[in-house]
């Protein structure tokens, strides 16, 4: 039987989980400064990562690929989340019909340039049927945009609520519009380099759990 090391010491595990929960209630900049980029948090993550890697090596030596896959999936999810917390870029861009943006403004009022441009072909707002004596409620926003680089059209699409446009590692979400400036859209821009790693981790975790379930089912039968 292969002797396995503990995955993560329990106190470290709970500190990491509670820190992530606390960070989710903070604005992105304080969360990065006081938690994700803090030396103490990086140290805890490093200890947890080493523990998981040692477990994976131990399991592979013992040819327990099923449990090794589960540990690897957990490691990828943890690593992707950590990478996102450090390198994620988030901000907003406002455009009128016919205007073009080459970047976006982040929370700390820094301008983040893009290696492509985003042009607004058209913007429309759809309202629910008007009810007498009551304010009109917005049903949907639609921003028709074109992505260009060096004058060449690379992509065209319509951005709606819950239907973002993805390009160049960034997602463009329909955020709203300025009621005082008709025809002007407000888009939220999110660049998350750790997302592919997180998705890969979920896939590996699912594969490991399905294999485990299959073995348990065969034992029962």
- pLDDT, tens only, 108-161: 778 999 999 999 999 988 877 776 656 667 788 899 999 999 989 999 999 998
Per residue in 11-45, pLDDT (tens digit) is 566 666 666 666 666 666 677 677 777 888 878 77
Q: pLDDT-based confidence at 2, cuts 50/70/90?
A: very low
Residues 117, 112: Cα–Cα separation, whole Å: 12
* pLDDT > 70: percent of the chain: 80
Query: Are 132 and 76 spatial neighbours (Cβ–Cβ below 8 Å)?
Result: no
The dihedral formed by the CA atoms of 13, 16, 22 and 25, expressed in degrees to the nearest 10: -110
Find the radius of gyration of the CA atoms of the chain. 23
Residues 151, 144: Cα–Cα separation, whole Å: 18
Angle between helices 39-61 and 65-87 (to 10 degrees): 160
pLDDT of residue 134: 65
Structure pTM?
Answer: 0.67
Rounded average pLDDT over 65-72: 86
């Amino acid at each position: 039987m292969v002797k396995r090391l503990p995955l993560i010491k329990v106190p470290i595990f709970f500190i990491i989980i509670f820190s992530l929960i606390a960070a989710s209630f903070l604005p992105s900049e304080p969360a990065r400064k006081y938690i994700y980029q803090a030396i103490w948090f990086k140290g805890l993550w490093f200890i947890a990562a080493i523990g998981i890697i040692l477990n994976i090596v131990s399991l592979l030596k013992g040819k327990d690929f099923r449990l090794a896959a589960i540990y690897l999936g957990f490691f990828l999810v943890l690593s992707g989340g950590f990478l996102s917390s450090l390198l994620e870029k988030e901000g907003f861009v406002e455009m009128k019909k016919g205007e073009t943006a080459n970047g976006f403004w982040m929370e700390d009022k820094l301008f983040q340039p893009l290696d492509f441009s985003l042009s607004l072909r058209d913007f429309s707002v759809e309202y629910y049927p008007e009810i007498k004596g009551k304010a009109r409620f917005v049903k949907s926003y639609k921003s028709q945009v074109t992505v260009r680089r060096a004058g060449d059209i690379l992509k065209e699409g319509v951005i709606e609520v819950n239907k973002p446009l993805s390009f160049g590692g960034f997602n463009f979400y329909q955020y709203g519009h300025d009621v005082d400036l008709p025809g002007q859209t407000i888009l939220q821009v999110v660049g998350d380099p750790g997302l592919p790693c997180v998705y890969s981790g979920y896939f590996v975790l699912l594969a490991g759990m399905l294999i485990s379930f299959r073995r348990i089912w065969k034992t029962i039968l």
